[in-house]
Amino acid sequence: MLADYYVEAKSRKEIRGLANLLRNKLGLQDVLWIPIVELLDILAETIEEFSYEVVPDNELANEIHAETDIVTGHIKIKESVYVRACDGEGRDRMTIAHEIGHFFMLCLCGFKLHRNYENNIIPAYKDPEWQAKCFAGEFMVGKHLINDMDIFEIANKCGVSLDAAGYQCAHND
């Protein structure tokens, strides 16, 4: 959605710091299974700029699972995604974390968004989609909590897909 834009560069370490800051603020620093669905309501109650709604699947394009309006801070989540996230499906839980990542980095922290007028190739660390993906992974899988776990344990205990567990293992330096 945001491919026409770029943001200031942020490293995985910086984004991990932001994810951990949010974990701490929410009292979730030592929690393996982030209650991401419940968190939507908590954020809506505590942060004035944050709001979300569950919309009928046909309201968003096929390939879109959820989206964040970075001007209003409003997140729309497809009903099917929300229902599966409630059931603990890792991929859908991650989708919600991804949008919360957009909200925090673009709406709340105000990472500056620049229009990519020249259609330059944007390096990953300046791409808001990469940054949101990075945030979601770091937020859902606390690096400080997974020590010697294998990817099956991580997927189970953190409530993420095997793919995501593997990805976090490979990017935990």
Choose the stretch contacting Zn ion; rule: CB under 5 A; options: 86-94, 103-111, 131-139, 159-167. Answer: 131-139
Q: Which is nearer to Zn ion, 103 or 151 (CB)?
A: 103
Cα 103 to chain centroid distance, Å, stands at 9
Report the residue number, 93 or 146, with the smaller CB distance to Zn ion: 93
For Zn ion, the closer CB: 68 or 146: 68
Q: Which residue is nearest to Zn ion (CB)?
A: 132
Q: Which stretch binds Zn ion (CB under 5 A): 4-12, 49-57, 85-93, 122-130?
A: 122-130
Q: Which is nearer to Zn ion, 69 or 129 (CB)?
A: 129
Which member of 34, 40, 132, 151 binds Zn ion (CB under 5 A)? 132
Q: Which stretch binds Zn ion (CB under 5 A): 14-22, 37-45, 49-57, 127-135?
A: 127-135
Q: Which of 36-44, 124-132, 138-146, 156-164 is the region at the interface with Zn ion (rule: CB under 5 A)?
A: 124-132
Q: Verify binding: residue 75, Zn ion, rule CB under 5 A.
A: no
- The owner of tokens 């929300």 is 82
Which residues lie across from 77 on neighbouring strands? 54, 66
Nearer to Zn ion among residue 96 and residue 132 (C-beta): 132
| Alpha-carbon span 148 to 127, nearest angstrom | 31
- For residue 120, give the DSSP letter: P
| Widest CA span in the chain | 45
Exposure string (b/e) for 133-165, b if CB count within 10 Å is 16 or more? Answer: bbbbbbbbbbbeebeebebeebbeebbbbeebb
Q: Where are the beta strands (DSSP E) in the chain?
A: 5-7, 51-55, 66-69, 74-78, 113-115
Give the binding site for Zn ion (CB under 5 A).
129, 132
